[in-house]
Structure formats: structure tokens, C-alpha cells
Amino acid sequence: MIERSKAQELIDKYVTTDWLKLHMRESEVIMRALAKHLGKDPDLWGITGLLHDIDYDFVDKDPKTHGVEFEKILEKEKVELPEEVVHAIKAHNEESELIDAKRESDLDYALAASENLSGFLVACALVMPDKKIKSVKVESVIQKLKKDKSFARAVRRDLIFDIEKVGITLEEFIEIALDAVCKIDKEIGL
């Protein structure tokens, strides 16, 4: 398993967009917290969240290659990750015809849900009067997810709702994720 420090070196080398680095960090802490709640390996789940978009700066113009380029980076850097991590990272873009992985495990569903909720929580914070993540409430997130389809329109709500496939409710998931992101509020500037 890759060490957290080595994963950070890869991010520093391949990710140039500040908002993307923050999104990857948010996804990491959500995945770690979720793993702890579910009795899974927080290091494995955290690394999955942290590295899931490492190729995104390269594929911006051609998103269907998102996940394909990820494997090329691993090969180039001679980094070996557990197969379940590679599968989950590829499967979070299963809609691409170039990706041969489909979401099927708890890790797969958790990553797709967490990385989408990460962006949604940031959007919720940015519309608060103080623009602080700690001002966001679980109930308002649920309200915006379910009733206000025009809010954060690009977020895949269906993938967030899929969290129930890992055995927790949407409300529990949002509470876990919000608590995790609030712990790094200063780091992410919210």
C-alpha cells in the first residue's frame, strides 16, 4: 500500500489546480470517516479518496479518459495499489466507454458518493452568509439535494443517493461527511 506521503508527492507532481487538490483532500477525509463508521480500513479508503482524481488535470478536455490516464500514471511512477483501490477509482467514471470497471463493492459506491458529496458540501458552504462549512446543517443539505435540482446542478445526486447500497442512510452519510470536512475547515479555506 502506498504511504500517504508518497501519494501527496504524486498529487504535487500531477495536480496543478488548487480547487482539485482541495476536492481530493475533502474526498480523502470523507472516505476515512466513512470507513471508520463502517468498520473498514481507513487508510485504504482514504488513499482511494485522495488519489481518485489524480489524472483529472490531464483529461480536462477529454473526460472519458479519466481513469485510463490514472493507470498510466501508476505505471509511469511504478506505484502499486491494491486492486480494489484501482477498481474503485476507475469505476467512479464507469460511464466512460473506455473504462472496464463498474461500481459493485462498498468501496466503489462510497467513492462515487463521497467525491460527489464533497463538491455539494462546498457549494452549500459558499451560499451561507459567512461562507463557512461549519454553518451548513445536515437538514439543509438534504433539502438542497432532494428538492432544489438547480442547485449545484453538475453534482451527480444519483451517485450520492447510492450510498445506501453500503448500508447507511443518506442522513448518516451527510452527517459523517460534514463532520469530517468541518475538521479541515481552515485547511480548505471554508
Q: What is the pLDDT of residues 69-99, one digit of tens each?
A: 899 999 999 999 999 999 999 999 878 788 8
Mean pLDDT of 120-126: 98
Contact predicate 139/133, CB 8 Å: no
Q: Which pairs with CB-CB distance under 8 Å and at least 24 residues apart come from 113-116?
A: 113/159, 113/160, 113/161, 113/162, 113/163, 113/166, 113/173, 114/27, 114/30, 114/31, 114/34, 114/49, 114/177, 115/23, 115/27, 115/49, 115/52, 115/53, 116/155, 116/156, 116/157, 116/159, 116/160
Number of domains in the chain: 1
User: What's the grid cell of residue 48?
Assistant: 482511494
**pLDDT recorded at residue 97:** 82
Distance, in Å, from the CA atom of 80 to the CA atom of 126, rounded to the nearest integer, reads 37
Q: How confident is the model at residue 1 (pLDDT cuts 50, 70, 90)?
A: confident
**Closest C-alpha to 112, from 181, 158, 71:** 158
Lowest mean pLDDT among 53-62, 111-120, 175-184: 53-62
Residue 60 has pLDDT above 80, yes or no: no
Residue 5, SS3?
Answer: helix
Q: How confident is the model at residue 144 (pLDDT cuts 50, 70, 90)?
A: very high
Domain residues for 151?
4-188
- Main-chain dihedrals φ then ψ at residue 36, nearest 5 degrees: -60, -45
- The CATH number assigned to the domain holding 128 equals 1.10.3210
Residue 63 has pLDDT above 80, yes or no: no
**pLDDT recorded at residue 99:** 81
Residue 180 has pLDDT above 80, yes or no: yes
Amino acid letter, residue 33: A
Residue-averaged pLDDT of the chain:
95
Lowest mean pLDDT among 2-11, 67-76, 130-139, 168-177: 67-76
Residue 30 has pLDDT above 90, yes or no: yes
pLDDT over 70, % of the chain: 100
Mean pLDDT of 55-69: 83
**pLDDT recorded at residue 3:** 95
**pLDDT recorded at residue 18:** 96
Angle at 108 between CA 27 and CA 16, to 5 degrees: 40
Alpha helices in 54-105 (DSSP H): 56-59, 68-77, 83-91
Distance, in Å, from the CA atom of 90 to the CA atom of 68, rounded to the nearest integer, reads 7
